[in-house]
Structure 1
Amino acid sequence: MPSDYDVIVVGVGGMGSAACAHLAERGVDVLGLERYGIPHAEGSSHGSTRIIRYAYSEGESYVPLLERAYELWRDLDADHDRDLLTTTGSLTVGPPDEGLVPDARDALDAHGKAYDYLDAAGLEARFPYAVDDDWRAIYQPDGGFLDPEQSIVAHVDRAHANGATIKGREAVTAWREDDSGVTVDTEKGTYTADHLVVAAGAWSPDLCPGLADHLTVERQVMGWFQPTDPAAFTPDAFPVFMVETGGNELYGFPRHDLPGMKVGVHHHRNEETDPDALAEPTREDEAHVRDALTDYIPDAAGETLGLATCLYTNTPDRDFVLGALPNAERVTVAAGFSGHGFKFTSVVGEILADLALDGRTDHPIAGFDPARFD
């Protein structure tokens, strides 16, 4: 029997929506299946803003992917009626000899990206920070933020415009592979395809049991706080930022879309969670984020205006999982983005289309091979 679709994509969040768009643009008959609404606030692709930056402390090998991601974001932005990418510049702040600052500087130097290297006095003269006298900061002008919800909308709109079928509120319950293709069971029906892409975020361990031992789901809390001088924290005046906090990082954004300034502490409590039983923010969460903000950007630490939870899906090495699922030649997986993946959504969609259709990609993803944990 012929397959219902060429490719089925499970998960229509950041990565899955981009995969649907790129596949449909190539003339592929694609079905996207999402367990929640599109977009939604139950997973990893919400909260109004996500940082994008070339000052990449996570490793200079990511920068070529970022260059392509920026190109694709600008292309998508041009077709959408709301801004997806806002350029503010980015700041990376911390001790000069280890951690965020030297790692970001190495990444920028390796790829010839322009930046300003500031001492503590220079930083505090330009922006409302309070840091140790021996600290340093990197200001890189291309940094900024993406609107995650609108990015998903834009990718889904492009997928629809090219003939894709997208279904929300339809959870996948099982899938299986045989010589003729893949079969996907949901709460509402059964579908077949030549290839399956799993981009299910925190639900990837359930759908890809062979990877479950290498994917840890973590609860993360974001907060919105009212600055004492709101005019100093607009996108025109205040860059997105990462600040070293002794093992974790304070990250945040200028005011945008929602009242107050959004901030968080990366891996703030290292708290594993069940994605189907995600706890609401607590006073302890609020205090953890507020304390870090008060230490380094005290003028931003006014009244609490909002708190929200989201999910990280972490790998042991904090690098992505992107490639063929071991022992399933018709299945490609995108998972384990470890709290720093959304900025790559546009290019990951392109990569997933390459892998689903050709079994290979020209993008540098060898370090993300799902088989590396075996």
Structure 2
Amino acid sequence: MSERYDVIVLGVGGMGSATVAHLADRGVDVLGLERYDIPHSYGSSHGLSRLFRLAYFEHSAYVPLLQRAEELWQDLEADHDSQLLYRTGSIDASPEGDALVEGSKRSCEEHDLEYDLLSSSELTDRFPGYRLPEGYEALYQPQGGFLRPEECTVAHVNRAHRDGATIRARERVVDWRPTDGGVRVETDHGAYEADRLVITAGAWAARFVDELEGVAVPERQVLAWLQPTEPDQFDPERFPVWNLQVPEGRFYGFPVFGVPGFKFGRYNHREETVDPDAFEREATQADERLLREFAEEYFPTGAGPTMRLQTCLFTNTPDDHFVLDTLPDHPQVAVGAGFSGHGFKFASVVGEILADLALEGETDHDVDLFSLDRFD
């Protein structure tokens, strides 16, 4: 006879670990199933640092979720043995009049967030690591910073264990199907049944949800860590995290932390849609060249020797907004997917939302932007 739970969570990365923790905190008998280790570096929840920013040009509707996420990260950190959220401030920069800074400014004004607008020369005077061309502007928001993704996953799993959750790593889910009483999940180790299922499978989500085929699309991403020639300029005390729109694309980055190099990448890197089980996981010279040329142009005192290159996966939707919903034909199944390269900072509140959807079929959070039926 298969084991039975109240809820099964498929995938225990950033989003899944938070979901398991929220469910366990509510007294739910929950099982988390993870194909790889906890944490691991095969998906989207690794790399030592992840942006946290409240100035959100993508859509101002994200800001209340970020404010709740911030509360939840602070609560989780207070219960953990090391720091999770580091404050550096955040920079959004682009040519004057570009949508990036205008959108960030709009989100700050709609939600009464403190910010400063700086010219490119004022930005360099204040933060010498930045060397943007004349005609660029930057929005500085002091509450931004970065999270430690691996440690955040560990903290959520520790909390879930404390509250009675069962989590099994190195157990690959093969399939699931609805039953009269809920769902049945088949793995390479056995089978489990539950009243409800939450799918947080990252780049593999479309393999378990037909409605996500062509909607949640995996993409190869590469990050670089370069040793600064002026290390003091890239210290967390003097170098805010950033988003930057330039003719070469939109890039993002971090101060030196954990590796002796400043970390950055290009959103959608080389625009390589991939099979998450069969793609080039080693960074190449072409990857390095693309990133180094950018750093030499815009962060010249950061463009020293390469310290590290690493791949990860984005899972993009057509509009770059998330999917947080229940399945129309199977309301006992909730899905969190398509975080489009900007989701990790939301993991704490996404876990809360998915726990709501799993148990109640709805949430008090405003998630209309993330409905699955927008792709019909």
Counterparts of 1:133-172 in structure 2, within 5 Å, are: 133-172=134-173
Counterparts of 1:207-222 in structure 2, within 5 Å, are: 207-222=208-223
Following the alignment from structure 2 to structure 1, what is the Cα–Cα distance between the partners of residues 331 and 349?
22
Letter aligned with residue 176 of structure 2: W
Q: Once the two structures are aligned, what percentage of the paired residues are identical? A: 54
Structure 2 SS opposite 1:154: helix
For the 8 Å contact 2:96–2:135, the answer to whether it is kept is yes
Counterparts of 1:216-365 in structure 2, within 5 Å, are: 216-246=217-247, 248-279=249-280, 280-365=282-367
Alpha-carbon distance change, 108 to 152 in structure 1, aligned in 2, over 3 angstroms: same
For the 8 Å contact 2:172–2:188, the answer to whether it is kept is yes
Match in the other structure for 2:110: 110
Letter aligned with residue 310 of structure 2: A
Letter aligned with residue 168 of structure 2: K
Deviations 1:304-356 (A, max 9, x none): 01100000000001000111023111100000000000000000000011111
Structure 2 SS opposite 1:275: coil
Q: Which moved more, 1:4-13 or 1:269-278?
A: 269-278
For the 8 Å contact 1:3–1:194, the answer to whether it is kept is no
For the 8 Å contact 1:91–1:242, the answer to whether it is kept is yes
For the 8 Å contact 1:245–1:292, the answer to whether it is kept is no
For the 8 Å contact 1:250–1:293, the answer to whether it is kept is no
RMSD over aligned Cα atoms: 1.2
Letter aligned with residue 132 of structure 2: V
Letter aligned with residue 273 of structure 1: V
Deviations 1:165-193 (A, max 9, x none): 00000000010002211000000010000
For the 8 Å contact 2:316–2:338, the answer to whether it is kept is yes
Instruction: Confirm or deny that 1:199 pairs with 2:194.
Output: no
Following the alignment from structure 1 to structure 2, what is the Cα–Cα distance between the partners of residues 247 and 201?
28
Match in the other structure for 2:74: 74
For the 8 Å contact 1:99–1:244, the answer to whether it is kept is no
Following the alignment from structure 1 to structure 2, what is the Cα–Cα distance between the partners of residues 362 and 14?
22
Letter aligned with residue 13 of structure 1: G
Alignment length (residue pairs): 374
Match in the other structure for 1:14: 14
Structure 2 SS opposite 1:43: coil
Following the alignment from structure 1 to structure 2, what is the Cα–Cα distance between the partners of residues 142 and 96?
23
Deviation at 1:132, TM superposition (A): 2.1
Following the alignment from structure 1 to structure 2, what is the Cα–Cα distance between the partners of residues 135 and 248?
15
Deviations 1:222-243 (A, max 9, x none): 0100000112211111110111
Structure 2 SS opposite 1:277: coil
Letter aligned with residue 295 of structure 1: E
Letter aligned with residue 261 of structure 1: F
Letter aligned with residue 347 of structure 2: T
Deviation at 1:3, TM superposition (A): 6.7
Alpha-carbon distance change, 46 to 2 in structure 1, aligned in 2, over 3 angstroms: closer
Counterparts of 1:83-122 in structure 2, within 5 Å, are: 83-122=83-122
For the 8 Å contact 1:253–1:261, the answer to whether it is kept is yes
Structure 2 unpaired stretches of 5+? none
Deviation at 1:99, TM superposition (A): 2.5
Match in the other structure for 2:183: 182
Structure 1 unpaired stretches of 5+? none
Following the alignment from structure 1 to structure 2, what is the Cα–Cα distance between the partners of residues 2 and 34?
18
Deviations 1:230-280 (A, max 9, x none): 122111111101111237211110011122111101111111011001311
Following the alignment from structure 2 to structure 1, what is the Cα–Cα distance between the partners of residues 335 and 243?
29
Structure 2 SS opposite 1:213: coil
Deviations 1:76-96 (A, max 9, x none): 011111111000000111112
